[in-house]
Amino acid sequence: MEEQPLLPIRHIRNDNQVGKKDDVVIQVKNNLNKLLDSAAVDEMGPLGESTQPSIYKIPEFMRKIQAKAFEPQLVSLGPYHHGKEHLVSMEEEKQKAFRRFVNDYGLNLESIVESMSNNLENLWGAYDKLDEKWKQDGAKFLEVMIVDGCFMLDFFKECPYSLSTMRWDIKRDMLLLENQLPMQLLQELYDNMPNTNQEDQSLRSLICQPMCINEEAVMGRELHILDMYRASLLYPPVDRKDRSGKTKVTYQQSDPECQIIPQATQLHDAGIKFKSSPTKNLTDVSFNPKQGVLELPYIVVDDDTETTLLNVMAFEKLYVEAGSKVTSFVILMNNLIDVDRDVALLASDKILANALGNDESAADLFSLLGKGAAMDLDSHITDVHYKVNKHCSLSWNQWCASLKHDYFQNPWAIISLFAAVFGFAILIVQAIYQIVDYHRGN
């Protein structure tokens, strides 16, 4: 039978589909062209680098950790929380402070408004994801910034009697990332206060004293008060030279030795001793493998620790140039502290002062602070982790840790162990006497 030729395959063109495809291409091109012309791209620098804000709205994934730690309780500063119902009562105090600036300190209203209006773009740019309403109403934005700035400086100069019982709560609100005012604004206001004796006190001194910030730590390039507070946590500078002369190890994200170390009580069982560092700089962490000594900076844990550290860590995560030194220290402490016994051990070695009432609360605090935090592999603390883990992996140290864990936790176990050792020693002595008597008899 003769094979029939295959029927030719006909490509049927659907003009409707072609038309839809063309429409999609045109729509995508139009949308991308709009994106190129958008305000977000207008803020890009000549090399495509965007203008870097320094005051941020807390992202939802970070807010979920502890939302109340990022929310002001008494006073709003800047645009993010302005007008919220529970903060409105402080607006009257702000207005009083503004009037003092004009009437008592001689603030030149026309001069300061003109100066601030010339810097309006910079003030807008300091805030990340600023609501469009503030850009549409620049006058209202400047009004809020000037009045809030006057309130802050007036509070630092002399806390009003009406706020004396709330000053610690106000200071707490002044260290929230969403509640910051640009240092440029504060400096401009301070420079326009002719009726104050500024020759004896700089703006830096005015802020540092009431906020318990080490003035020597502030270099003058800080972006806002939270940035100044962070700088004080990392002061004084610590010499990072490796005295052993070894080349710095490069770590990978998958290396467990540089990410996690055992908790403090387990390190103690392995023979590691804890010692207070020479400074309170949170990066002043070191481990001496020859002596088995881990040095840690002294830290006080109180009711404000959660709020301040979470906001500093948020600033480090969102402002790329800040680095992550405080975050790396918090991760270290989260590794060391798991249960209340770890807190008690570090407190007994003068590493930690717990003002929270009980050790379990302090342990829970560091567990909370460590959620979602990632170790910076360029931090020297990764080297400390690696050296500590290497020390613990040695056979002798593992044996000591096992012995302490299995026999030295219970007093009856200790008594039984010594009784067994004593009994074994008696058997050895008896055996020796029998051998000696045997040789004497012969």
Quick one: which of 268, 126, 256 has its CA closest to 185?
A: 126
pLDDT band at 249 (very low <50, low <70, confident <90, very high): low
| One-letter identity of residue 2 | E
Which of 232-241, 351-360, 364-373, 432-441 is the least confident region?
Answer: 432-441
Residue 18 has pLDDT above 60, yes or no: no
* Residue 273 pLDDT: 94
pLDDT, tens digit, 9 for 90 and up, residues 140-163: 999 999 999 999 999 999 888 889
Token duo for residue 378: 């360029």
* Element containing residue 294 per DSSP (H, E): strand 293-296
Residue 48 has what pLDDT? 40
Helix (H) or strand (E) holding 286: strand 286-288
pLDDT at 376: 83
How far is the CA of 311 from the CAs of 121, 226, 227, 305, 360, in angstroms? 26, 8, 10, 10, 23
DSSP state at residue 179: G
The encoded tokens of residue 88 equal 């409105």
pLDDT value at position 418?
Answer: 64
CB 350 within 8 A of CB 276: yes
How confident is the model at residue 244, as a pLDDT?
42
Residue 355 DSSP one-character state: -
- 21-30, 49-58, 383-392, 402-411: the lowest-pLDDT one: 402-411
Arithmetic mean of pLDDT over the chain = 85
pTM above 0.85, yes or no: no
- Residue-level pLDDT at 26: 84
Strand-by-strand arrangement of the 273-276 sheet: 273-276, 293-296, 286-288
Question: Per-residue pLDDT tens for 198-231?
Answer: 666 899 999 999 999 999 999 889 999 999 999 9
pLDDT tens per residue across span 255-288: 666 788 999 999 998 889 999 999 999 999 999 9
**Predicted local confidence at residue 245, as pLDDT:** 41
Report whether 281 contacts 238 (CB < 8 A). yes
Residue 298 φ then ψ, to 5° = -70, 130
- What pLDDT, on the 0 to 100 scale, is given for residue 19? 62
- Return the structure tokens found at 117: 């209006």
SS3 287: strand
Residue 252: its H or E element: none
Question: What are the structure tokens assigned to 27, written together?
Answer: 């729509």
Q: Is the pLDDT of residue 307 over 60?
A: yes
Cα–Cα distance measured from residue 326 to residue 282, given in angstroms and rounded to the nearest whole number? 7
Tokens representing 217 are: 């730590």
Handedness of CA 179, 182, 187, 188 (dihedral sign): negative
Q: What per-residue string of b and e applies to 89-101 under the rule 16 or more CB within 10 Å gives b?
A: ebbebbebbbebb
Q: Return the H-helix or E-strand segment holding 273.
A: strand 273-276
Average pLDDT over residues 396-418: 53
pLDDT at 204: 94
Model pLDDT, residue 32: 82
Return all residues near 406 (Cβ < 8 A) that are at least 6 apart.
413
